[in-house]
A and B are shown apart, each in its own frame.
Chain A
């Protein structure tokens, strides 16, 4: 398993598609960071200190960055999954790999972990970019880089962090199933986006007992406040008992991994 994972990680690391995804993400992060830093610095000293402590000081910047990463990930996530799983269909490299691996389940798991690592790398890139911007801003205005205004904020931020990890796992495994089932990078990636927005739609406009089963869109909580208010009507939908939501999300994850590996196991490569 470890060796298969190494092989997959090596392939992704040297893939031009991954380099392009990284470049696009980096550019967007740089623009986002520049806007945030310039906005903070452009105000008078008092307001700029407040603004800095609210969204740019560590650990607050982690949550600010996650908001940007979340939106970016909706598009780049399926792209990375399509690279990891779909490339083997488009270039017919399954015929090289499958006669070598001792278990398709292990291969599927290794590919899923690689896709997750790719998405996590993009998220980390956002953290680093904003971190550097924040450090520059703190030096300019003389603010403290480490600043925790109130413990609740830290707690709330940690929740968001965990949700991000779980959502990333859920989203990449969903995308993997769709790429494997469609045997196409493009169809799989578009199907993932459609499925995601389908879930959000169902949660928004269906009774609570139905919406509950589409719990992963609960993680639309990750959207920054102003986006969330705009997108999600009826905020009460987000108050679905969180423990049940977590259970259902876990069930989704488990089912998606099982389904994806079973589809791969059964597939013929004629």
Chain B
């Protein structure tokens, strides 16, 4: 059974769609990455997932419960950090964690709070007022707050915001550890290289729609780039020769993008020669999340 199941989720603000027909399935223990430019609907999707707002249509389920109507029964299983964390004025880090723990109806002993603060590197600053914390420290504290109830599902919105490189590395190992302990992690971020290292599954959301999604290993394919003249002619020859891959063979600037497992047989060379197509260069190129992200943005 999937831990998170999002089914044609749509949210409109008056007539403007924030997200449209988003469908995602995430299984237990997965670190899932949601990637998208600013204003693409990432935070809206997260707010819908934790019951802060209601969908216009569609539904989302966590652990089989509808998040719009039954989230109250999930509060002990799901923890979330939404956008830049804001805390309660006047409280120290320990008091903040204790307050959050009280809200969730659980009693956390001093030792557990200190353990968490140590985990996120804030033990020395535990008695400092949170309003004096830097953005990175607040982010760490928010993660500690999210881990308080040992959740089955951890949802983090831009958790690397304000973190220094050490903090980013620590967060990565923290998320991987949580995942190996069976926690399902849903994280949205702009740090694509970081997501590439951390996530096993990703989805690209642009303009409120999921443009591409899947397992990172499947998406991070190697592709070939060909420079030919005239390029349009070469493109139509390749598409005609390999109609099954017609959609995947496409122009990328002045180059032709071809799937990596593609076998350029001698017949193709003959067709090129017959049509006076000159091939200048064929390069194998590994596609990272950054390139895929750029493609998704360009498509829009």
Contacts and interface: CB of A to CB of B under 8 A. Distances in A.
Interface of A: 3-4, 6-7, 10-11, 14-17, 87, 91-104, 107, 268-270
B89 A16 contact: yes
Contacts of A93: 86-88
Contact of B75 (A11, A100, A269): A100
A4 B53 contact: no
Interface string B152-179: 0000000000000000000000000000
Contacts of A107: 103
A15 B89 contact: yes
Interface residues of B, number: 38
B80 A99 contact: yes
Interface of B: 13, 44, 47, 50-54, 71-73, 75-76, 78-80, 82-83, 85-91, 95, 98-100, 102-107, 142, 145, 149
Contacts of A101: 72, 75, 103-105
A143 B145 CA distance: 58
Contacts, number: 98
Determine the main DSSP class of B at the interface with A. loop
A15 to B, nearest CB: 5
B52 A268 contact: yes
Given A87-B89, A102-B76, 15 more contacts: A10-B95, A11-B99, A15-B88, A16-B89, A93-B87, A96-B87, A96-B100, A99-B78, A99-B79, A101-B75, A101-B104, A102-B73, A102-B105, A268-B54, A270-B44
Most chain A beta-carbon neighbours within 10 Å: one of B78, B83, B88: B88
B54 A7 contact: no
Most chain A CB within 10 A, of B50, B83, B99, is at B99
B90 A4 contact: no
Give the 4 A-B CB pairs with smallest separation, nearest first: A7-B102, A14-B90, A268-B53, A269-B52
